[in-house]
Amino acid sequence: MFKRISALVLVGVTTLAMAGCSGSGGSGGSSDGKIVMGFAQVGAESGWRTANTKSVQESAKSAGVELKFSDAQQKQENQIKAIRSYIQQKVDVIAFSPVVESGWDTVLNEARNAKIPVILTDRAVDSQDKSLYKTFLGSDFVEEGKKAGQWLVDQYKDGTDQVNIVQLEGTTGSAPANDRKEGFEQVVSADPRFKVIASQTGDFTRAKGKEVMEAFLKANPKIDVLYAHNDDMALGAIEAIEGAGKVPGKDIKIISVDAVHDGMQALADGKISFIVECSPLLGPQLMDLAKKVVKGEQVPDRVVTEETTFTQEQAKDALPGRKY
Ligand code: AHR
């Protein structure tokens, strides 16, 4: 029996050495027959991420998977160190949500050489060699951006005036920031009335969302729409908008992505105008996929999360039953 709890939470890679003491059983599983998963999380930057971590930890527990968990604090080098530590510990499977898309080939090759299967969860990598990982479980972020853009186009279908948009981008170089921007642009660029007058990263955090929105408001007297790549940045921006004496949702329409509880509350309260859902509840599917890849069974290359969108009225109905 393992002495340690199955969902071992480690903050920062400096504590990863501790995880090495729990003694995984390598490619055959732990000493008590459990599958051992090394999970390299991005960080704790948002409500979405907190819900995702909880989903992974709880699902590991109920699936009987021993989880070695690390928090990279939004730094790629920390994730790479965590993955190398999992390779050294000979875990059965590695899962991770890559903080950025590029720069993974070397460490993924090391995992492959050690015959440890890798599952991408939530975010993609841009490696050309798809055999470096077994499957990718997560949302279609381009589609999310398109849904955000389509809502906006529908709102302004009768007008003729220019629509000034500011964009709060997610972490620079991350798949959701790249793809949500791209999907949105694909839709709104078809109509010359839509102008993205400012776009900057808010790193998916509330504090940075507020800070950048304050700068946008100072530099741009007429902002019609804010497109935020996640709810946390939108919530920070709401504080900035209110601080500038404007009414969020009225003076400035706000579109965001995630549909976490606080975002949905702001939507129901009329402060956010529309939210595109991005589900963090990836844990159960991740554990199923992990069991299959460890057994050497075939899994689909790509598993796309099912998601919806919410208007203000829909948020009021959905809020009581939301799980995150
Ligand atoms: O990768 C998913 C994104 O990461 C979420 O939309 C955002 O809130 C999180 O930080």
Ligand 1 pocket, Cβ-based, cut-off 6 angstroms: 45-46, 48-49, 122-123, 176, 204, 230, 232, 257-258, 278
Ligand 1 centre to CA of 48 (Å) is 6
Counting Cα atoms < 13 Å in the Cβ hemisphere of 200 gives 15
Cβ-contact 104, 79 below 8 angstroms = no
Task: Quote the CA–CA distance of 247 and 272 in Å, as a whole number.
Answer: 10
Task: Quote the CA–CA distance of 2 and 7 in Å, as a whole number.
Answer: 12
Task: Quote the CA–CA distance of 151 and 188 in Å, as a whole number.
Answer: 10
Ligand 1 nearest atom to the CA of residue 232, by list position:
8
Whether the per-residue pLDDT at 317 is higher than 80: the answer is yes
DSSP string, 99-126: SSSSS-HHHHHHHHHTT--EEEESS---
Cβ-contact 189, 150 below 8 angstroms = no
Give the rounded percent of residues in the chain with a pLDDT score beyond 70: 90
- Of 68-72, 158-162, 255-259, which range is least confident? 158-162
* pLDDT attached to residue 30: 64
Give the rounded percent of residues in the chain with a pLDDT score beyond 90: 89
Ligand 1 nearest atom to the CA of residue 43, by list position:
10
* pLDDT attached to residue 28: 46
Q: Using CA positions, which residue lies closest to atom 3 of ligand 1? A: 176
Which among 27, 45, 52, 50 has a CA at the least distance from the CA of 37?
A: 27
Is pTM, for the whole model, over 0.85? Answer: yes
Ligand 1 centre to CA of 137 (Å) is 14
> How many other CB atoms are found less than 10 A from the CB of residue 164?
18
Ligand 1 centre to CA of 47 (Å) is 8
Q: What is the mean pLDDT of residues 1-16?
A: 36
Whether the per-residue pLDDT at 95 is higher than 50: the answer is yes
- Mean of the per-residue pLDDT values of the chain: 92
Cβ-contact 119, 50 below 8 angstroms = no
Which domains are assigned to the chain?
Answer: 33-139+280-306 (3.40.50.2300), 141-278 (3.40.50.2300)
Band (32; pLDDT cuts 50, 70, 90): confident
Q: What is the mean pLDDT of residues 115-139?
A: 97
Describe the crossing of helices 47-63 and 283-295 by its angle, rounded to 10 degrees.
50
Structure tokens at 225: 């729409």
* pLDDT attached to residue 29: 53
Q: What is the mean pLDDT of residues 14-18?
A: 35
